[in-house]
Chain A
Amino acid sequence: MNHYDDLQRFKDKTRSQALDFKDFSAQSHAQEQGNWAIINQLLPATEVNSLAAGGHVSLSAPQPVTEETFAVSELTPVPQAQVVEPAPAPVSSILQGVDEQLASTPRQAAAIPTPTPARVQVSHPVTEPEQGAVDFTRLFAPATTKPAPAAEKNQPLNSLLERIATCR
C-alpha cells in the first residue's frame, strides 16, 4: 500500500464507487503554503502572478545597465586589478585607518595574511581622492546615483506599488 486513500476505502465500503467525490484537502494546504517567488512564477499565468514576479519587495527586478556603467573615460588612470564593491567601502575606510597604522610598521604589514592585500590595495585608491582629481569611489558607486532614463523611473516604483498591493 502506498498511501492510505480514505476516499477510495469509503467508496469500497459503501459500494458507491460510481460516485466522484471531490478532494478539497489541497485547500487547506494552499493556505499554509509559503508565498515563494519561484513557485509563483511557475504557476499558470494569472493576475496575481504577474504582480508577484520578481524577488523581494525591497529590491527591484534587475534591469539592463546603462552605457556609462562600464565606460572608461580618459581622465581615469589604469583601473585597479581588484574591483571593489560599494559595500566594503565603509569597511575599507575603517581598515584604511588600521592599515595606515600598520603601514608605519612595515614588518607587521608584511605579516598580514593574504586576504588583506586586497584591502591594502583598496586603501590606496581610497586615499587617492584626497590627493588626486578623480574620485574613484564615485566611479564605482551604485547605479541608482546615476540619472536614470525616464522609462526606468516608473519601473521600480510600479513594481513596488504592485507588490504592496498584493501584500496581505
Chain B
Amino acid sequence: MKKLLIILLVLAMVPVALLVVITPMDSQKQYIFGLISIGLLFLMGFSKKRSISVIMVVMSLLMSTRYMYFRLTQTLHFNSEIETILGMGLFLAEVYVWVLLLLNYLQTIWPLKREIVPLPDDMSLWPTVDVYIPTYNESLDVVRDTVLAAQCIDYPRDKMKIYLLDDGKRREFAVFAADVGVGYITRNDNSHAKAGNLNHAMKLTQGELITVFDCDHVATRIFLQATVGGFLKDPKLALVQTPHYFYSPDPFERNLSVGRNIPNEGTLFYGPIQQGNDNWNATFFCGSCAVIRRSALEEIGGFAVETVTEDAHTALKMQRLGWKSAFLDIPLAAGLATERLVLHVIQRTRWARGMTQIFRLDNPLFGRGLTIQQRLCYLSAMLYYQFALPRIAFLTAPLAYLLFNLNIIHSSASLVFAYALPHLFLAIYINSRMNGRYRYSFWGEIYDLVLAFHLVLPTVVTMFFPKRGKFNVTDKGALLDVGYFDFRVVRPHLVIAILLGIGVIAGIVRAFAHDYYGVDPRVIALNVGWGLYSLIFLLAAIAVARETRQTRKTIRIDVTIPVLIHYASGISSRSQTADLSMGGCRIELPDDRHLTDEIEEIELLLQSGAISIPVKVVTTDERYIRLMFDDIPLSRRRELVRVVLARADAWIQPPKPQDNPFRSLATIVRCVFDLFWMTWKTRRANRRAQAKVQVQEDGNA
C-alpha cells in the first residue's frame, strides 16, 4: 500500500519536476527563483531528519538538471572552431559533474549503520580463520608489529592460524616467523603480485574464513570477534570490510598547516560512501582489514588477478554470483598512510588505472548478477576516477577568456551566474549537511587537483588499452629525514598557477579600463572570480608538496594508562602515561624521586595483564618525564604491541566537528597564505644559517 502511494506521489511530481527543469527565465526571475530555493533550503535545514535530506537531494538534482538544460539549450553557440572545442570540452566536464552528483547522491543518501553481530557463547561453533599477511619488499621493522598484533587477536588459538606470505623470500622473515610462531609461506614465482600471493596461500591453508592484513596494518584484539559473527548468521555473507584507519599523517595532514584539523582524506570513503554502498549491498573489498568467506572466493576462482585493483574486482565478482557483503564502520585496525606526496600519487594512479580496467574488462553495467543499485554504486566509484580531464577543464576554463578572449559560454554573465548559483549552492550545502563530519567543503577539490595532472595519461591510456599497466607497489615505511619542496610533483600545477595569475591580473587591468577595451565588466568579473577561485585551490594543492621532515619512525599515541615506576632502590611509584609509542612513553611525574633514584623499569597496567619494560630516561621537565624502551625479547614486544597498538579501543575517535562551508573556505585560504609565509620563513632561516657558516669559514680562514 505504501509502495503504491510512493509511486503515485512520484508520478504526480514528474510533471512538476519537468516544469522546474525546463521553464526558461530571464536573469532577474532566475535570481529570485534561485534565492527562493536557497531560502527554502535554509528553512528545511533546521530539521536534521534524513527524510528532509532526501527532499533536499531532490531539490538539488532539479536545480542542477535545470542548469544543465539551460546550458544545453541556450549556451552552446560558438563563433570559432577553437571556441567550439573548448566550449564543448567544458560542457562535457559539466555533464560529468552532473552525472557524478546524481550517482553520489544515490550512493550516500541512506547510509547503513551496521551493528556488530555477536558470536555465540559456545566457542565450538566459531569458524576457523586464516590470517594472511602478504609482504614483498617492506622492512621487517614494519611487518613485525603487524604479526605480533595479529597474535594478540582474541580468538581461540586452535581456530586461528596466522600466515606470513613472503613474496620477497627473505631469510630474516623466515627466521622471525619461526621465532614468533606463525606460518611462513613462499612461492616459486611472483606472478600477479599480491593477488597471486594470496591465491597461492589459499591452496595451502584450510580456514573457513580468510582475513587479509596489509603488512603495516596492525589489528586490534577485538577484530575477529567484531566481524566474524555475521558469517554465522548469514550463510550468503561473503565479505565484511572495515575501515582503513591511519595512525600516521598522510601528506595532506602533514604538509599543510591546517592538516590536523580536517578529517582525513579517506574518511569520506570509509564512512558515508561505503556505508551507502552497504545499504545497496555494494560494499567493496579494499584489500586489507577485511574478512572473506573461503567458499565464496573459491567460487570465483580466487582473488581477481585481471586488474591492478584486485580488491574491488574480487568483490564485484562475488556479488555477481549473489554473495552479500557488509561494511562495519568501526576502525578495528590501523596502518601507515603514504609518507610523501609522490607516493600518494603513485598509489592513486594505480587505483585509477585499476578501476578503469574493471570498467573496461568487467563493466558493472553489463553482465548478470547485479542489482541496479549495485551497478550504479560501482559506476559511481569508477567514474569518480575519471576526474582528471574534467578537473583540468574547470581549472583552465577562465583562461580562455582572460588570456585569449575566447567566449566558451554563450550567455550573459548574469544569466549564467543566476543559473549556476542555486546549482552550486545547493550541491555544496547538501553535501556539507550529509557528509560534513567526514569531509569538509571544498577539500575534495584539493585532493583531486593534486592528482589531476598525474592521472590524465594513465586513465585515458587505460581506458583505451586496459590490458596495459604494471602493478607498482606503494612504498611503506621509509623515513623522510629532511624537509624539501617536491617541485617535480607539482610542476604542471605551478605552470597553470602562473597562467591563472597572469590571467587574473590581465582581467583586472581590463576591467579597470573596460571602456577603453570595450568589454562587459560583468563578464570580466565572472571570469576573474572563477580564475581566483581556481587559483586558490591550485595553490593549496601546491602547498601539499612542501614535504616536512618526519621526526620519528614510531607513532606516538596520546593515551592515559596507569603505570608503575620501578626505581633501582626497590621503590615503586604509581602514575599515568601522557603518551605512548612502541619506542617509549611519557609519564606524569608523581614526585622528584627520579632526580636521585634511577628508574629501572616501568610497568603498564592493562586489565588484561601488565607488562614491564626496562627504560632509559630521555628528557624530563617539571611535570613529565620521557622514557625510551630498551630492547626487549619478542614475547615481551608482543605484550607491548597489545598495550600500544592492539587495544580494542585504540583507534576509535570521536568524529570531527560538523563542517561549515565558509569556515572551510577560510581554512583553505589560510593554507595558501601559510605556504608563502612558511616558505619565506624557511628561506630566511636558511639564509641566516648560511651567513653564520660563512662567517665561521671566514673566521677560520
Scan residues 1-28 of chain A and give those whose CB is less than 8 A from a CB of chain B: 1-10, 12-14, 16, 19-28
Select from chain A the residue with minimum beta-carbon distance to B181.
A31
Contact check, A25 vs B116: say whether CB atoms are below 8 A apart. no
Q: Does B607 contact A (CB under 8 A)?
A: yes
Contact check, A6 vs B118: say whether CB atoms are below 8 A apart. no
Contact check, A10 vs B648: say whether CB atoms are below 8 A apart. yes
Q: Complex formed: what's the CA distance from A26 to B639 in Å?
A: 12
**CB within 8 Å for A25 and B609 given contacts A13-B652, A32-B635:** yes
Q: Does A146 contact B (CB under 8 A)?
A: no
**CB within 8 Å for A20 and B605 given contacts A6-B648, A13-B649, A14-B652:** no
**CB within 8 Å for A22 and B154 given contacts A4-B561, A10-B222, A14-B330:** yes
- Indicate the member of B155, B610, B647 with the most A CB atoms within 10 Å: B647
Contact check, A23 vs B116: say whether CB atoms are below 8 A apart. no
Residue of A6, A24, A28, A29 touching B607 (CB-CB under 8 A) = A6
| Distance from A23 Cβ to chain B, minimum over Cβ atoms (Å) | 6
Contact check, A16 vs B116: say whether CB atoms are below 8 A apart. yes
Q: Does B590 contact A (CB under 8 A)?
A: no
Select from chain B the residue with minimum beta-carbon distance to A7.
B648
Select from chain B the residue with minimum beta-carbon distance to A1.
B562
Contact check, A20 vs B649: say whether CB atoms are below 8 A apart. no
Contact check, B156 vs A3: say whether CB atoms are below 8 A apart. no
Q: Does B321 contact A (CB under 8 A)?
A: no
Contact check, B642 vs A10: say whether CB atoms are below 8 A apart. no
**CB within 8 Å for A9 and B648 given contacts A3-B606, A22-B225, A25-B642:** yes
Contact check, A29 vs B609: say whether CB atoms are below 8 A apart. yes
Q: Does B115 contact A (CB under 8 A)?
A: yes
| Distance from B114 Cβ to chain A, minimum over Cβ atoms (Å) | 11
| Distance from A146 Cβ to chain B, minimum over Cβ atoms (Å) | 48
Contact check, B154 vs A6: say whether CB atoms are below 8 A apart. no
Q: Which residues of B contact A28 (CB under 8 A)?
A: 151-152, 638
Contact check, A10 vs B225: say whether CB atoms are below 8 A apart. no
Contact check, B154 vs A25: say whether CB atoms are below 8 A apart. yes
- Indicate the member of A4, A19, A21 with the most B CB atoms within 10 Å: A4
Q: Which residues of A contact B220 (CB under 8 A)?
A: 10
| Distance from A132 Cβ to chain B, minimum over Cβ atoms (Å) | 58
Q: Which residues of A contact B116 (CB under 8 A)?
A: 14, 16, 19
Q: Which residues of A contact B609 (CB under 8 A)?
A: 25, 29
Contact check, A5 vs B607: say whether CB atoms are below 8 A apart. yes
Residue of A13, A19, A26 touching B118 (CB-CB under 8 A) = A19
Q: How many A residues face the partner with a CB closer than 8 A?
A: 26
- Indicate the member of A6, A8, A9 with the most B CB atoms within 10 Å: A6
Q: Which residues of B contact A14 (CB under 8 A)?
A: 116, 330, 652
Contact check, B225 vs A21: say whether CB atoms are below 8 A apart. yes
Q: Complex formed: what's the CA distance from A13 to B221 in Å?
A: 15
Contact check, A2 vs B225: say whether CB atoms are below 8 A apart. no
* B121-159 interface bits toward A, Cβ cutoff 8 Å, 1 = contact, 0 = none: 101000000000000000000000000000110111100
* B619-635 interface bits toward A, Cβ cutoff 8 Å, 1 = contact, 0 = none: 00000000000000001
Q: Which residues of B contact A29 (CB under 8 A)?
A: 609
Q: Complex formed: what's the CA distance from A26 to B609 in Å?
A: 8
Contact check, B650 vs A6: say whether CB atoms are below 8 A apart. yes
Q: Which residues of A contact B607 (CB under 8 A)?
A: 3-8
Q: Complex formed: what's the CA distance from A14 to B562 in Å?
A: 23
Q: Complex formed: what's the CA distance from A28 to B154 in Å?
A: 10
* B572-585 interface bits toward A, Cβ cutoff 8 Å, 1 = contact, 0 = none: 00001000000000
Q: Does B608 contact A (CB under 8 A)?
A: yes
Q: Complex formed: what's the CA distance from A25 to B220 in Å?
A: 12
Q: Complex formed: what's the CA distance from A77 to B89 in Å?
A: 124
* B93-137 interface bits toward A, Cβ cutoff 8 Å, 1 = contact, 0 = none: 000000000000000000000011010010100000000000000
Scan residues 452-494 of chain B and give those whose CB is less than 8 A from a CB of chain A: none
| Distance from A149 Cβ to chain B, minimum over Cβ atoms (Å) | 45
Q: Which residues of A contact B121 (CB under 8 A)?
A: 20
Select from chain B the residue with minimum beta-carbon distance to A22.
B154
Contact check, A24 vs B155: say whether CB atoms are below 8 A apart. yes
* B647-666 interface bits toward A, Cβ cutoff 8 Å, 1 = contact, 0 = none: 11110100000000000000
Contact check, A24 vs B154: say whether CB atoms are below 8 A apart. yes
Residue of B118, B157, B562 touching A2 (CB-CB under 8 A) = B562
Q: Which residues of A contact B222 (CB under 8 A)?
A: 7, 10, 21
Q: Complex formed: what's the CA distance from A21 to B153 in Å?
A: 12
Contact check, B115 vs A6: say whether CB atoms are below 8 A apart. no
| Distance from A94 Cβ to chain B, minimum over Cβ atoms (Å) | 42
Select from chain B the residue with minimum beta-carbon distance to A4.
B561
* A70-109 interface bits toward B, Cβ cutoff 8 Å, 1 = contact, 0 = none: 0000000000000000000000000000000000000000
Select from chain B the residue with minimum beta-carbon distance to A6.
B647
Contact check, A24 vs B649: say whether CB atoms are below 8 A apart. no
Scan residues 140-184 of chain B and give those whose CB is less than 8 A from a CB of chain A: 151-152, 154-157
Residue of A6, A12, A13, A20 touching B606 (CB-CB under 8 A) = A6
| Distance from A162 Cβ to chain B, minimum over Cβ atoms (Å) | 25
Q: Which residues of A contact B606 (CB under 8 A)?
A: 3-6
- Indicate the member of B155, B156, B221 with the most A CB atoms within 10 Å: B221
Q: Which residues of B contact A6 (CB under 8 A)?
A: 221, 606-608, 647-650
In the assembled complex, 22 residue pairs joining A and B whose CB atoms fall closer than 8 Å, in A order, are A1-B560, A1-B576, A3-B562, A4-B561, A4-B606, A4-B607, A4-B647, A6-B647, A6-B649, A7-B222, A12-B649, A14-B116, A19-B116, A21-B222, A21-B648, A22-B123, A24-B156, A24-B157, A24-B221, A25-B154, A26-B608, A27-B156
Residues of B within 8 A of A (CB): 115-116, 118, 121, 123, 151-152, 154-157, 220-222, 225, 330, 560-562, 576, 605-610, 635, 638, 642, 647-650, 652
**9 nearest A-B pairs in the assembled complex, by CB-CB distance:** A25-B608, A10-B648, A5-B607, A6-B647, A9-B649, A24-B154, A10-B649, A13-B652, A3-B607
Query: 9 new A-B pairs (CB below 8 Å) besides A7-B607, A20-B118, A21-B648?
Result: A2-B562, A2-B605, A9-B647, A9-B648, A10-B220, A13-B649, A22-B123, A25-B154, A27-B157
Residues of A within 8 A of B (CB): 1-10, 12-14, 16, 19-29, 32
